[in-house]
Amino acid sequence: MTRLRFERMILLAALTALGIVWILFSREEVSRSRAVVLTEAPIVGHLAPDFTLATPLGEEVSLTDFVDRDGDSGQPVVLNYWASWCGPCRMETPEFQNTSLKFKNRVAILGINQGESAQKVTEFGISYGLTYPLLVDEDSAVNQKYGVNSLPTTIFIDRKGVVREVFVGILNQAVLEDRLNRLLEEG
Amino acid sequence: MYPVINLGPFVLPTAGLLYILGAWFSLSWVEKAAKQLGLNPERVYGVAVTALVGGLIGARLTFAAIYWQAFQHNLLGIIWPLNTGYNLWGGLVIGVAAGFFYGRYHQLHPASTLDALAPGLIFGLIVVSLADFLAGPGFGTLTRVPWAITQYSMRRHPVQVYEILVGLAALFVWWRLRDQRTVAGQAFLMSVSVYSGGRLLVDAFRDNAWLSGGGYHILQIISLAVMIVCLYLAARLGETAVQRRQDSHQENH
- Per DSSP, the residues of A93-112 read HHHHHHHHHHTTTTSEEEEE
Residue A73 Cα, gap to closest chain B Cα (Å): 23
The burial class, CB within 10 Å (0-12 / 13-18 / 19+), for B76 is exposed
- Any chain A CB within 8 A of the CB of B2? no
Strands A163-168 and A153-157, by their bridges, are antiparallel
Q: How many CB atoms lie within 10 A of CB A160?
A: 21
The shortest CB-CB distance from B220 to any of A15, A23, A169 is to A23
pLDDT per residue as tens digits for the range B27-46 = 999 999 999 999 999 999 99
Kindly state the greatest CA–CA separation across chain B. 76
Residue B120 Cα, gap to closest chain A Cα (Å): 26
Q: What are phi and psi of B211, to 5 degrees?
A: -110, 150
Task: Give the residue numbers spanning the domain of A52.
Answer: 34-185
Which of A104, A79, A98 lies closest to B67 in space, CA to CA? A98
Residue B22 Cα, gap to closest chain A Cα (Å): 21
CB contact under 8 A, A22 and B204: yes
Q: Where is mean pLDDT largest: A174-178, B76-80, B140-144, B201-205?
A: B201-205
Torsional sign, CA B1, B7, B11, B13: negative
CB contact under 8 A, A171 and B231: no
A27, B215 Cβ separation under 8 angstroms: yes
CB contact under 8 A, A172 and B154: no
- Per DSSP, the residues of B12-26 read EEHHHHHHHHHHHHH
At A155, is the secondary structure helix, strand, or coil? Answer: strand
CB contact under 8 A, B204 and A166: no
pLDDT per residue as tens digits for the range B9-26 = 777 888 889 999 999 999
CB contact under 8 A, B217 and A171: no
Q: What is the pLDDT along chain A (187 residues), one digit of tens a residue?
A: 678 888 889 999 999 999 999 999 999 876 554 544 567 888 777 899 999 999 999 999 999 999 998 878 899 999 999 999 999 999 999 999 999 999 999 999 999 999 999 999 999 999 999 999 999 999 999 999 998 878 899 999 999 999 988 888 889 899 999 999 999 987 6
Q: How many CB atoms lie within 10 A of CB B15?
A: 21
Question: What type of residue sits at position B193?
Answer: S
**Which chain B positions have a beta carbon within 8 Å of A23's beta carbon?**
200, 216-217, 220-221, 224
In a domain, residue A12? The reply is: no
In a domain, residue A26? The reply is: no
Please give the residue that has the higher pLDDT: either A178 or B73. A178
Q: What is the pLDDT of residue B32?
A: 97
The shortest CB-CB distance from B239 to any of A1, A12, A23 is to A1
Alpha carbon distances (Å) from B223 to A151, B171, B203, B228: 38, 17, 10, 9
Which of A39, A84, A77, A168 lies closest to B10 in space, CA to CA? A168
Q: What is the pLDDT of residue B6?
A: 77
Domain count, chain A: 1
Q: Is A45 left (phi over 0), alpha (psi -120 to 50) or beta?
A: left
Q: Is B122 left (phi over 0), alpha (psi -120 to 50) or beta?
A: alpha
Q: What is the pLDDT of residue A30?
A: 67
pLDDT per residue as tens digits for the range B202-245 = 999 998 888 888 899 999 999 999 999 999 999 999 888 888 88
The shortest CB-CB distance from A41 to any of B64, B81, B153 is to B153
> What is chain B's mean pLDDT, rounded?
92
Kindly state the greatest CA–CA separation across chain A. 84
- % of chain B surpassing 70 pLDDT: 99
**Which chain B positions have a beta carbon within 8 Å of A171's beta carbon?**
84
pLDDT per residue as tens digits for the range B147-202 = 999 876 789 999 999 999 999 999 999 999 998 888 999 999 999 999 999 999 99
The CATH number of the domain holding residue A131 is 3.40.30.10
Distance of CA A11 to the CA centre of its chain: 46
